[in-house]
Structures are given as C-alpha cells and as structure tokens.
C-alpha cells in the first residue's frame, strides 16, 4: 500500500476511534490494534496521535473557511447565503461525520495549531454573524438578536454529526433544504 494511502487509512480509523472513545482515551496501541498492525508501524506514516488530530481538525476548519469565503464573495442575498452555509455543513458532515466529532469535541486538545484553529473558527463565526446582520439591515431577516440567531443555527449545524450517521438513506440536498426551511423560516405555520 502506498504511504499516502496508508496515512489516509490511519486517519480514517483514528476518526472512528476518536468519535467512539474521545481523543484522550485513544492510544496509538488502540489505533494499531484496530488496523491489525504493530504500533511501531504507525510511525512510518505519521508522527504522533497529535499529528492525526491536527490533520483531522485543521483540514475540516480550512474547508469550512474556504467555503465561507466563497459564500461571502458571492452576489447572493443574505437568505441565499445562509442556505449555502447550511448546505456546506450538511455536505461536509455527510462526508466526514467522524471527523466532525473530533472538530466539535476534541479541538481543545490541539497543541501547536490551537491558535490557528481558533483564528479560523472565530473568523468563520464572525463572517456568519455578518451575513445575519446584513440580512437584518436589508430587511430580509427579522430584526432580532444576531447572537441568538447565530447560536441557534450553529448549534444545530455543529451537531449534525450525531444525527446524520443514524439516517441510512439521507439525501444531503433534501436535508439541507429542509434544514434551511426550519432554521431560516422557523416552524410557525
């Protein structure tokens, strides 16, 4: 097996274990056992457990940041931008629910890249908040507290990794559309 493919396999296996047990509870020995190899063999492909966690979290955070930049730079109105953000969360979470568990639950264990991650996260939240504020200013969105709107939407979107794996026949486009209806329009008839 090619070195890069083996590294990807290690990372995928680690994301499953991190979701199941939590980053702190997983050892390199656990990871090696899950893969059916010796722990020493892992170090031919990765530096450390921290390296795996950093790879998982930073790659996802950078993907969210890139997608948000595309949305911000689009000519869409605020409601359409919010719908795009929802679709991005559904897409990324559908593709990697185990990695999203690490992003949400284990980010505080990052060492060297913690400040970088927090910078990406803060910018993402600031950009999301700004889209909401623009929507309020343009009268597309009700004049209510942007922080509560941001919290409500992000809480739901960040917890998708818990829900999506339980749904075998999930259609990401349909889910994004339905979430958009509820998160943006509400449930009032």
Q: Where are the domains of the chain?
A: 48-185
Given a cut of 60, whether residue 3 has pLDDT beyond it is: no
**pTM, entire model:** 0.91
Who contacts 116 (Cβ-Cβ below 8 Å, separation ≥6)?
58
The correct answer on CATH 1.10.357.10 for the domain covering 48-185 is: yes
Average pLDDT along the chain: 94
- Confidence grade of residue 169 (pLDDT, cut at 50, 70, 90): confident
Contact 29, 39 (CB under 8 A): yes
Q: What is the pLDDT, as a whole number, of residue 168?
A: 73
- Render pLDDT for 4-42 as a digit per residue (tens, 0 to 9): 688 899 999 999 999 999 999 999 999 999 999 988 888
Given a cut of 90, whether residue 75 has pLDDT beyond it is: yes
Ranges of H-type helices in the chain: 3-21, 28-35, 39-42, 49-72, 78-95, 97-105, 114-137, 146-158, 160-163, 172-180
What the block records as the tokens of 108 is 């505080």
**Could you give the C-alpha distances from 54 to 43, 92, 99, in angstroms and in order?**
16, 17, 11
- Render pLDDT for 103-157 as a digit per residue (tens, 0 to 9): 999 999 999 999 999 999 999 999 999 999 999 999 999 999 999 999 999 999 9
Residue 38: strand, helix, or coil: coil
């Amino acid at each position: 097996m090619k070195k890069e493919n083996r590294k990807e396999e290690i990372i995928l296996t680690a994301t499953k274990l991190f979701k199941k047990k939590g980053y702190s509870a997983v050892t390199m020995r656990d990871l090696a056992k899950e893969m059916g190899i010796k722990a020493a063999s892992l170090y031919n492909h990765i530096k450390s457990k921290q390296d795996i966690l950093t790879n998982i979290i930073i790659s996802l955070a950078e993907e969210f940041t890139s997608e948000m930049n595309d949305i911000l730079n689009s000519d869409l109105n605020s409601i359409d931008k919010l719908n795009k953000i929802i679709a991005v969360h559904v897409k990324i979470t559908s593709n990697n629910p185990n990695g999203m568990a690490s992003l949400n639950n284990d980010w505080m264990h990052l060492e060297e890249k913690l400040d970088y991650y927090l910078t990406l996260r803060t910018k993402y939240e600031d950009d999301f908040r700004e889209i909401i504020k623009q929507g309020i200013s343009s009268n597309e969105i009700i004049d209510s507290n942007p922080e509560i709107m941001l919290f409500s939407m992000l809480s739901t979107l960040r917890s998708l990794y818990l829900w999506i794996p339980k749904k075998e026949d999930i259609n990401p486009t349909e889910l994004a559309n339905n979430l958009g209806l509820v998160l943006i329009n509400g449930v009032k008839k």
